[in-house]
Amino acid sequence: MSVVLSFRRFTWCLVVGGMVVAGGCASVPPTQEMSDARQALDAAREADAGRYSPRAMEGANQLLSQAEQKLEAGAFKQAQQSALAAKQEATRARTMAASLSAAKIALREAAADGVLSAEAQALLQQAEVAASVDDEKSAVRLAGDAKHRAEQDVNNAWLAKARALLDEANTFPAMAPDQRAVLELAEAAHHKGEGKKAHLLIDKLVSELRIAWQAAQPAPPEPAPPPVVTAAEEPSALPSSYTVERGDSLWKIAGRQEVYGDARKWRLIYKANRKSVKRAGLIYPGQVLVIDRF
């Protein structure tokens, strides 16, 4: 009998001891959790989450308020749970706000360059709607898609500018080895879809080539007085076509007096002969080019 009583007393002590320990844990204020929740809310406010994700932000504020009320009432366990939930909701609000903010910056840049697509705008609008109804997953995904599309819009514009300059560079008859190397780098960057890099490389090269070509041109002769033309002779006698000779380029042809007298008008020849001239630098002796007389 004494053994049974001793065992019962031992078991009771364990139960009471466990309650004391549990009670001791529950009696500790959740100081760290409360601090983390407040910091998360401050970060969300800095990201302007109240504007981008109002429902999530409102929920985070309510949860923090509940945590503070429970803390004052001494319900530390409940206060801890509300604080953790407030931190989580504030983090969600900040994530949506940061995604939308990054997308808007990308769209503003594309709009400033005049290349913003309707697709990018539509994706951003969808992301804003998703954030307004607290759909974090959709908001973040759509905002990322909008940002990516706007960046593509800008990159495509750089690629188009670089392509025109690459075509012009190929019309120059001669290049130094280092210039040829830059041209190859620019072509490689363009092929990889790196529009801004390709444009930066080729823009500088073409500027150098233009200056060198202009410096190599002989001084123009003194202009002769214009001939007296009668009414019957009024129509222009300038040729409407040109046969390519060895060493010719569109730049060189446009500079001929009987063509345009201005090498910078090479694109007029290129445009008028797009069916037979696939690349501005690819013409061959004997090829007949149309000379547009407007």
Residue ranges of the domains in the chain? 26-153, 155-216, 238-290
pLDDT of residue 276: 84
In whole angstroms, what is the distance from residue 147 CA to residue 154 CA?
11
On whether the CB atoms of residues 110 and 131 are closer than 8 A, the answer is: no
| CATH class of the 238-290 domain in this structure | alpha beta
On whether the CB atoms of residues 100 and 47 are closer than 8 A, the answer is: no
pLDDT of residue 270: 85
pLDDT string in tens for the chain (294-residue length): 343 334 344 333 333 333 333 333 446 999 999 999 999 999 999 999 999 999 999 999 999 999 999 999 999 999 999 999 999 999 999 999 999 999 999 999 999 999 999 999 999 999 999 999 999 999 999 999 999 999 999 999 999 999 999 999 988 878 889 999 999 999 999 999 999 999 999 999 999 998 888 887 776 666 656 555 444 444 456 788 899 888 888 888 888 888 888 888 888 888 888 888 877 777 888 889 988 876
Q: Which amino acid is at 99?
A: S
What 8-state DSSP symbol labels residue 217? Answer: S
Rg value, the chain, Cα: 37
pLDDT of residue 226: 58
pLDDT of residue 64: 95
Considering the entire predicted model, what is its pTM? 0.64
In whole angstroms, what is the distance from residue 82 CA to residue 65 CA?
9
In whole angstroms, what is the distance from residue 294 CA to residue 291 CA?
9
Buried b or exposed e, range 54-77, using 16+ CB within 10 angstroms = eebbebbbebbebbbebbeeeebe
pLDDT of residue 133: 92
pLDDT of residue 57: 92
| 240 contact partners, CB below 8 Å, separation of at least 6 | 290, 291, 293
Q: What token pair was written down for 125?
A: 């609008």
pLDDT of residue 14: 35
Q: For residue 27, which of 85, 72, 64, 77 has the smallest C-alpha distance?
A: 77
